Homo-oligomer: A and B are copies of this chain.
Amino acid sequence: MSSTDDIDALIEMMAKLPGLGPRSARRAVLHLIRKRALLLTPLADVMQTVAATARECLNCGNVGTTDVCDICTSNKRQNGELCVVEDVADLWAMERSGVFKGRYHVLGGTLSALDAVGPEELRIPRLIDRIDAEDVREVILALNATIDGQTTAHYIADQLEGSVTLTTLAQGVPIGGELDYLDDGTITAALRARKPV
């Protein structure tokens, strides 16, 4: 056995992370080894802790270290507003904006006939249960503006029609966006939804 087998294994595992390739994994591992007391040991410890404690919220699908997540149990969040997102990363993005004070429901993906992802796989039945159980008045469909995202949004809208107010995020020019760099679809959407000044 070579004395660098563990280091090679570490590089190989790091290289499989999204956003890292073999070259950046080697750089990262060398950086970690150089500062092993300061970086590698604490990182390994935190990873052990997270591996042991992280779980999905049984209610909304968010990631946390308790069976029901902080947002679901917080009494500072408004009841009655439910924001439906595809993924935990989208929930985090919404939270960074700090503007939404209701609760979330994470689908965990989008409907896809090709990948055999149906409503059961996406926590859609649980969403329908929550609307009664939590007395939800408004469901905000904050799905990605992709074809899969919009297909899923339409399916959910069909299922919930009549029982709650359904809204979706506005489409238009992003803040700081330059028209010249935007695609035709965005410009069309922004023009159709134009507002009086």
A residues with a Cβ closer than 8 A to B are: 2-4, 6-7, 9-10, 13-14, 16-20, 24, 26-33, 36, 39-44, 46-51, 53-54, 63-66, 69-70, 87-89, 92
Number of identical monomers bound together in the oligomeric complex? 2
Query: Judging by beta carbons under 8 Å apart, are A28 and B19 in contact?
Result: yes
CB-CB under 8 A from A42, the residues of chain B are: 13
Task: State A51–B39 Cα separation when bound (angstroms).
Answer: 9
Pick the 6 closest A-B CB pairs, nearest first: A19-B24, A44-B47, A40-B51, A3-B65, A17-B28, A41-B51
Task: State A48–B49 Cα separation when bound (angstroms).
Answer: 13
Query: Judging by beta carbons under 8 Å apart, are A46 and B3 in contact?
Result: no
Task: State A3–B73 Cα separation when bound (angstroms).
Answer: 11
CB-CB under 8 A from A33, the residues of chain B are: 50, 54, 63
